[in-house]
Structures are given as C-alpha cells and as structure tokens.
Amino acid sequence: MAQLTVETKTNEAHALFLQQDADYYYSIGGRYSAKTYEIIQKNVLDALANPGLKIAAGRKVYSSIKDTLFSDFLKVLKDMGLDRRVYTKTVSPLHISFANDSEVIFKGADDPEKTKGLSGVHRLILDELNEYTLEDFESYEMSIRGQGYKTKIYMAHNPIPIIPGSRHWFQELFDPGTLKPGEPVIWTDTSLGRIAALKTTYKQNAFCPEKVKTRLEGYKETNPNLYKLWTLGEYAEMKGVILKGWDVVNEPQGELIGYGLDFGFSSDPAACVKVWGNKEEIWVQCICYSTDLVNSELYSLLTGRGVLPTDKVIADSAEPKSIEDLYRRGLRGIRGVKKRANYKAEMANILQGMKIHLIAGSTDLQREFSTWSWDEDKTGKLLPKPKDGNDHAMDALIMLLHDWRGSNQAAAPTVALRL
C-alpha cells in the first residue's frame, strides 16, 4: 500500500494508555469519554501499518453490532479521511477489508459458533465489556492465536450499578481499584500478563460537545446517581431503583401491542421500543436509539426494522410536526400520546407489578432499566415520581403502555412509592 496521510482525533490520556506495551488494555469511563473511538482508531492505524493484521471486534449480541460497533468503525474511517481506495466493507456478513490484506471481522458471543474464525486473529476488541460473562471472555481469550503479530485484547465499558459487597468479574481481573481519571496504570499479573488500565471522563475528551458537557454536569443536581456513573465514571450503588425483577431473553412471546416512540436529535437520542404481551407480562425490544436523525432517516430506520404502515406507534405528543411528517411518509398508525397528570409515576407503579422481559441486544434499554429511579428531595428522601434524565427508551415504553391501558380515565389514581 502506498504511503497514506491520515487524520486522527487523539486525546492525551488515551494516547499514553494505548502506546503501552501490554497484552490487555482495559478502558472504563463515563459517557462521551471517547474510549471506544480511541481504541478503534488505534486498531485501524495498526491495520494500515501492518499488512495482514486480523482484528475481531464484538459485542455480546451480534444483532446489535451493525448500529453500534460497526457504525463506530465506519465513523472513525471517515474521520481519518479514508475512502474505498483504502478499504471495502460488507454488511452481510459485517466485515471490513483493507487494501494491504488487513481485515476486521465482527463477532457476537450469543452465536454458538462464536469462536470459529478466531484462530488467526491478532487483535480482539470487546466493547461494552459488562455485557459479557467471564465464560464468554475466557472462550474468546483462548481462541485468538494469530501468527506473525503479538495478540492483544482491548476492552471498554461504562461503569454500571453495583451490588454492595460484590465486584464484577472484570473488576476482579482488570481494575486495580486505584484508577484516577486520565492516569494510565500498568502492571503485570502472573496469570494474565501485562495489563494497562485507564479511567476517563468527558474531561479527557477534548472533542466532547459543549452541550453534552452541560447535560452531564447538570446531573449533579438532577440525578446524583447518574452523575456518579456517567459524569464521574465511577461505579455507583443506585438508590431507589424502580424496576428490579426484569430479565433478558432471546425471543419475544405473545401478541404485538405496538411501538412507543420518543423523539430526539442531537444530545438526546430518538428511541423506539417494540412491545409484545398482555397486562401482566411484557416483552420489550429497543429497535432504535440514535441521535442526529432527521425525520426521513427516522422513517427509513423504523420501516427497515419492521414497522408496518398500519402498526400502532404511540409517539410523544410534544412533537406534533414530527408525528404529522411520519404519518405523511407512510406510518398511518402513528399518533401522539394523550398524557394525563402524573402518568409517569402511575406507569412506574404499574410496571413494578408486571413481569418484564427485555430482548437480548437491547443494551441501551437495559442500561436505562438499571438506572431508572425515584426522585429525591434535598434531604435524600425518595419521592413518588421518577427522576428525569436519560430515560428516552423508558419514556417510549411508558407512552405506549399508558395509551394501551387507556388514557381517557377521568382522574389519575393515587401514586404510592414502592421500593
């Protein structure tokens, strides 16, 4: 391959971390800390510089990769100024090939054949590491054995809620417990090898938009739990979590209830959920969780995910223009939700009494379920209303179920706080 000039968006802390000579690179950080972007950029640079380098990149569920990790790779390639003279891509299967015979394959741990094709891999990227079990990790780790280049494993994830007195498997293996934002820690483990670990927040990302910084800092007052998780990049014991008994399954059951749609654009994603079931038990799948979508793109995404013209789509009535636009484009079943006072708190109590299953791959929905909590007053006393902030998929679900259960009652019932 002829010599290339590429553009990079590199932050100092990540650069120092990724230039270490290690076997494992563990990156934990808050939202918008650029951890996944920097890992992908580093691996693309390595692929360009080392002919025949084979990279495997994955998330727990293969079906979630196209709109997340695969799209992240394509964004990095575009930002670096690379074009089809340098690489080609396919979407079935997901694959990126470089002109120098380097390549990126994509794997999901939910595939029974997950370890096939990994024997020639030199680099492994595990995004959203918290989705994986220890057994998943060990299966991948034992399978990569490419020849000619040193094998390396890169891991990234956001902090997640913790159970008091316990530690997640990845904390036990890769988190020394002394990480400070922006300061890489390097050590040798007798059973694993050389480990590099880094903790970051948005403050280590020089390219974080100002409006995102404002939103993240705003959680300090509006949602201290999310502030600790997403702004400070720290593990947090979530206080007053509303929904606790849900699980993750592979397939839905029951009749289709419909779709819930919460609009967004820049810092807030547009979120759409598909729901099956009855008034005692529901199955929920997140089919859209994306920013920067104009209505034409949102329409194409929804119809591409199986939304039919006559399907019921209950959307946020605060966006009548967007609802009308989607209707004119072909979603004849879309309408705005008829909200009544205190409907979110009412639906929170109803959801607490239901059996809820989330469809595998709905990782953004799982994150919201894990952090959706009751509000607090200034003394820390829990209040019978959900906190606002980063509950886009939850809002979509609530609007659909609120409409489905009947929103035309004369008065809302009294809401009681149930923990």
- Say if residue 274 is in the same domain as residue 375: yes
- Say if residue 18 is in the same domain as residue 76: yes
Looking at residue 388, what is its pLDDT? 78
Number of domains in the chain: 2
Give the tens place of pLDDT for each residue, 308-350.
Answer: 999 999 999 999 999 999 999 999 999 999 887 788 888 999 9
Q: Rounded to an integer, what distance in angstroms lies between the CA atom of residue 306 and that of residue 291? A: 20
Q: Rounded to an integer, what distance in angstroms lies between the CA atom of residue 221 and that of residue 211? A: 16
Last residue of a domain, one of 170, 204, 238: 204
Q: What is the mean pLDDT of each run of 10 residues along the chain (419 residues)?
A: 77 96 96 96 97 96 90 96 94 95 94 74 96 91 91 94 75 91 94 95 96 93 86 85 88 96 89 95 95 94 95 95 97 92 87 93 86 81 81 94 68 46
Q: Is 401 helix (H, G, I), strand (E, B) or coil?
A: helix
Residue 382 within any structural domain of the chain: yes
- Say if residue 133 is in the same domain as residue 73: yes
Length of the chain: 419
CB 80 within 8 A of CB 41: yes
Residue 25 within any structural domain of the chain: yes
Q: Which two tokens stand for residue 285?
A: 């799948």
The CATH number covering residue 310 comes to 3.30.420.280
Looking at residue 367, what is its pLDDT? 85
- Say if residue 198 is in the same domain as residue 285: no
Looking at residue 337, what is its pLDDT? 92
- Say if residue 75 is in the same domain as residue 136: yes
CB 233 within 8 A of CB 61: no
0.85 surpassed by pTM: no
Q: Rounded to an integer, what distance in angstroms lies between the CA atom of residue 285 and that of residue 211? A: 29
What's the start-to-end Cα distance of the chain, in Å?
Answer: 61
- Say if residue 199 is in the same domain as residue 284: no
Burial class of residue 2, CB neighbours in 10 A (0-12, 13-18, 19+):
exposed
- Say if residue 112 is in the same domain as residue 261: no
Give the tens place of pLDDT for each residue, 259-297.
Answer: 999 999 877 899 999 999 998 999 999 999 998 899 999
Looking at residue 381, what is its pLDDT? 82
Q: How many CB atoms lie within 10 A of CB 141?
A: 16
- Say if residue 268 is in the same domain as residue 182: no
Looking at residue 410, what is its pLDDT? 34
Looking at residue 237, what is its pLDDT? 73
| HEC per residue, 231-267 | HCCCCECCCCECCCCCEEECCCCCCEEEEEEECCCCC
Residue 213 within any structural domain of the chain: no
Looking at residue 370, what is its pLDDT? 85
Looking at residue 112, what is its pLDDT? 63
Last residue of a domain, one of 204, 226, 260: 204
Which residues span the domain enclosing 255? 247-405
The CATH number covering residue 90 comes to 3.40.50.300
Residue 294 within any structural domain of the chain: yes
Looking at residue 327, what is its pLDDT? 97
Looking at residue 110, what is its pLDDT? 83
- Say if residue 30 is in the same domain as residue 167: yes
Q: Which two tokens stand for residue 352?
A: 């607490």
- Say if residue 194 is in the same domain as residue 46: yes
Residue 271 within any structural domain of the chain: yes
8-state DSSP, 409: -
Residue 220 within any structural domain of the chain: no
